[in-house]
């Protein structure tokens, strides 16, 4: 089992760093040039300058390796890109597994949440949302935080807690996926 983080922005990179403490983590970048630079410097100079990446963390262009059914896929892309990412996932043979969304937002034209978009595109996925009052740079620098894992699948929540929780990031559970997503989205407006 690997954790694949799709999106090498500051939050995706931070989650890759902390989850690599006890897991095999692959950080997927938008292109091979970005992957090359991050690998060469062992630092995401674009989004988290000054934070060194662990040696065991793999950085590669998205879809460079196949997604196995037991992998955990973390979507750390802007919410406006979720539909195009779903199309790319389908084109690359993904149709079931565990998907964790860490992006905040809704589709503006339909007001669909990310969970609705992903579960409609992939009815076989086990979906969770990770959100909370977290600041990626602070966590990357070693400050602890607490976040919310939301899923209707209680067994999935306990599995994710076991796999992901570490000294820097602890979780509370919620089964109200849409409520958690909407609260995170509305926080930005307020």
Would you state the structure tokens that stand for residue 57, as one six-digit string? 């963390």
Q: What is the DSSP code (8-state) at residue 69?
A: T
Alpha helices, DSSP H only, in 123-176? Answer: 136-140, 154-164
Across-strand partners of 173?
149
Taking each helix axis from N to C terminus, what angle separates 114-121 and 177-189, rounded to the nearest 10 degrees?
130
Q: What is the DSSP code (8-state) at residue 152?
A: S
Give the other-Cβ count within 10 Å of 173's Cβ: 14
Would you state the structure tokens that stand for residue 173, as one six-digit string? 């559970």
Would you state the structure tokens that stand for residue 175, as one six-digit string? 């089964």
Supply the residues annotated as catalytic: 187
Cα separations (Å) of 28 from 87, 101, 121, 153, 157? 16, 15, 21, 26, 24
């Amino acid at each position: 089992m690997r954790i694949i983080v799709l999106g090498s922005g500051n939050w995706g990179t931070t989650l890759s760093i902390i989850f690599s403490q006890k897991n095999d983590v692959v950080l997927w970048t938008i292109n091979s040039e970005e992957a090359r630079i991050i690998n060469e410097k062992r630092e995401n100079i674009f989004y988290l300058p000054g934070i060194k990446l662990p040696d065991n963390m793999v950085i590669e262009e998205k879809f460079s390796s196949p997604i196995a059914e037991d992998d955990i896929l973390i979507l750390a892309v802007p919410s406006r890109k979720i539909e195009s990412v779903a199309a790319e996932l389908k084109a690359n043979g993904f149709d079931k597994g565990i998907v964790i969304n860490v992006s905040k937002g809704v589709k503006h034209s339909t007001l669909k949440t990310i969970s609705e978009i992903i579960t409609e595109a992939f009815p076989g996925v086990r979906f969770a949302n990770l959100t909370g009052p977290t600041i990626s740079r602070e966590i990357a620098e070693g400050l602890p935080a607490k976040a919310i894992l939301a899923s209707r699948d209680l067994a999935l929540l306990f599995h994710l807690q076991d796999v992901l929780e570490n000294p820097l990031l602890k979780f509370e559970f919620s089964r109200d996926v849409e409520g958690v997503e909407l609260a995170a989205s509305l926080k930005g407006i307020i």
